[in-house]
Structure 1
Amino acid sequence: MKRQALLAGLCGVLLGSAAGAEPITVAWRDKPPYHYLENGEPKGFLLARARTVFETAGLPARFISEPQKRIWANFQHGATNYCSISWYRLPEREAVAQYSQPFHEDLPHTILIAPGMVERVKAHATLASLLTDPTLTLGVIEGVSYGPLLDPMIKASKNKVMSRTVETTQMMRMLTVGRASYMFVDREDWEFFRQKEQSGKTLLRHDLPDMPPGVRRYIVCSRDVSPATMNKLNQAIAATGGMNNPGHSKPGK
């Protein structure tokens, strides 16, 4: 009887420990309409999906908003039990974090043209040509990746580059007052801005035939997150629709 009581007590301790497991901290950056705060309330279609993925995986999670630089500093400095959502896959990031299966696939980037710059920008029939024009100023958000194909093209550009540590919405506002000639933007970001802010009506969206294809986004986690946990996340991503989300799929799909 004593042995049975001891075993029962041990099982109770183990179960209690599992039930009280520390939730994973899941960080997200401000990027409307993907994930953002509105009147202090967290919103966004990918934030909602991330919550569903962690719930489906049976993983307790504490969602917090943090700036992009802090998120990646946390990974670099060895944060534990820590994940973040909606990131491109890049070698420098893979060096400090592990990646889930694809979580979402963006549409190709588009460009926004500042007031008074439409003719000069549209004089270029291709992206390759546009990036060779030294009289144009390209607005770039510092510390943000535009994808593994577009990043090196921007780096090699002959445009003047106005690089600022701001959010996408702020860069679009800067474009409305002519701080740059044009900028690259995610289509969802632009649609959200255009509907929310009157100044968006002064900008022109323009597509170019040689823009790189849309880039996949992933959930990334610190190195200490176990393979079993990553497997649960991957299974939950698949179970909740993979990377193609209703309302955000490619044209024609």
Structure 2
Amino acid sequence: MMKWLGLGLMLTHLFSLESNASEKNYTDTIITTNKKENKANTLNPIIIAFNIRVPIYLEPKSGQDHPEGTVGTPASQALKNTNLNYEWQNIPFSRVMKMIEGNMTKICNPSLFKTEERLKFSKYSNMVYQDKEILILSYKNHPTLKDNLTLEQLLSSGDFKLLAKQGYSYGNRYDEIIKHNEKNNVTRVITGNYEIIKMLLKKRSDFMFIDPTELDGIFIETDITPEQVQTYSIKDAPEGNKRYFMCSKKVSNEEINEINKGLKINRLKK
């Protein structure tokens, strides 16, 4: 069984961290379509890319062509509500990003965050899933970390050192303050969350940022236990990051609208 916590280089503008938003906070997007373009564009299937990453994507069950999980389940349900021609493929994340940015084929990943940089080369659906608020994670009994510190206190005071994933977006607010303090208080590492936690357990730094649902997945899938680590809330934490179908520009506006219709049917069934 593939694990979500693999090593590997990622592009500089890769993905971020993204609890279901209430209906009143949800805004549908309808994209203007070019019917001549779309008629030809819908002939080829859209690749729906994923890679196993508990709990976001779980290994497909026997006979299934799609993953389940916090993103896998709503994404697959939405697609079933459409008339689209698509196929799920298990593709390494870094490869997916290159395919989307290079506009190599019709491809989407339903678990990515929306950033200004990515909007330059991709198209987005409406929201698929919203993460819980990010937590601070550290080794047990850190001498000075505590609940309800602000992001400024964590990163601008010089009292704490952050371990952050290279090429990973934690959300716009987090990315901004990490970038501002990168030279003095941040160490970038080319590893997954599992390896970062192992570094923290060796007290090579003070803390990391993590989505609580992902942390639950680590406890389930690895040898790390809740007794070894400690989490803290952030006083001014932004709301959980939102995840979307992020698609190459070869995916037509008509097809994006069809995905959005599928997502809307999901919400109406709840």
TM interval, shorter chain, is 0.7 to 0.9
Matched with 2:98 is 73
Matched with 1:14 is none
Bigger shift: 100-109 or 193-202? 193-202
Alpha-carbon offset, residue 102 of structure 1: 1.2
- SS of the equivalent of 1:233 reads helix
Matches within 5 A, 1:77-92: 77-92=102-117
The answer on 1:146 being equivalent to 2:151 is: no
Residues 31 and 168, structure 1, Cα contact 8 Å, conserved in 2: no
Question: What TM-score do the two structures reach when normalised by structure 1?
Answer: 0.78
- SS of the equivalent of 1:73 reads helix
Bigger shift: 135-144 or 164-173? 164-173
Matched with 2:143 is 119
- 1:161 and 1:39 mapped to 2: Cα distance? 40
User: Of the candidates 244, 255, 266, which is equivalent to residue 229 of structure 1?
Assistant: 255
Residues 148 and 235, structure 2, Cα contact 8 Å, conserved in 1: no
Alpha-carbon offset, residue 61 of structure 1: 2.1
In our comparison, the structure showing a higher alpha carbon Rg is 1
Matches within 5 A, 1:125-140: 125-140=149-164
The answer on 1:49 being equivalent to 2:74 is: yes
- SS of the equivalent of 1:217 reads strand
User: Of the candidates 56, 75, 87, which is equivalent to residue 34 of structure 1?
Assistant: 56
Q: Which amino acid aligns with 1:138?
A: L
Bigger shift: 188-197 or 76-85? 188-197
Q: CA RMSD in A?
A: 2.9
- SS of the equivalent of 1:184 reads strand
User: Of the candidates 204, 216, 236, which is equivalent to residue 210 of structure 1?
Assistant: 236
- SS of the equivalent of 2:188 reads strand
Residues 30 and 67, structure 1, Cα contact 8 Å, conserved in 2: no
Question: Gapped runs of 5+ residues in structure 1?
Answer: 1-16, 247-253
User: Of the candidates 22, 43, 46, which is equivalent to residue 44 of structure 2?
Assistant: 22
* CA 1:194–1:27: 2 relative to 1, 3 Å: same
User: Of the candidates 192, 197, 213, which is equivalent to residue 167 of structure 1?
Assistant: 192
- 1:174 and 1:100 mapped to 2: Cα distance? 36
Residues 112 and 184, structure 1, Cα contact 8 Å, conserved in 2: yes
- 2:155 and 2:97 mapped to 1: Cα distance? 29
Residues 134 and 210, structure 2, Cα contact 8 Å, conserved in 1: yes
* CA 1:85–1:120: 2 relative to 1, 3 Å: same
- 1:108 and 1:123 mapped to 2: Cα distance? 14
Q: Which amino acid aligns with 2:257?
A: N
Alpha-carbon offset, residue 222 of structure 1: 1.3
- 2:207 and 2:60 mapped to 1: Cα distance? 27
Matched with 1:7 is none
Alpha-carbon offset, residue 221 of structure 1: 1.2
Larger proportion of helix: 1
* CA 1:80–1:160: 2 relative to 1, 3 Å: same
| Alignment coverage as a number of residue pairs | 226
- 2:212 and 2:205 mapped to 1: Cα distance? 19
Question: Gapped runs of 5+ residues in structure 2?
Answer: 1-38
Q: Whose relative contact order is higher, 1 or 2, with alpha carbons under 8 Å and at least 6 apart?
A: 2
Alpha-carbon offset, residue 114 of structure 1: 1.9
- 1:96 and 1:125 mapped to 2: Cα distance? 36
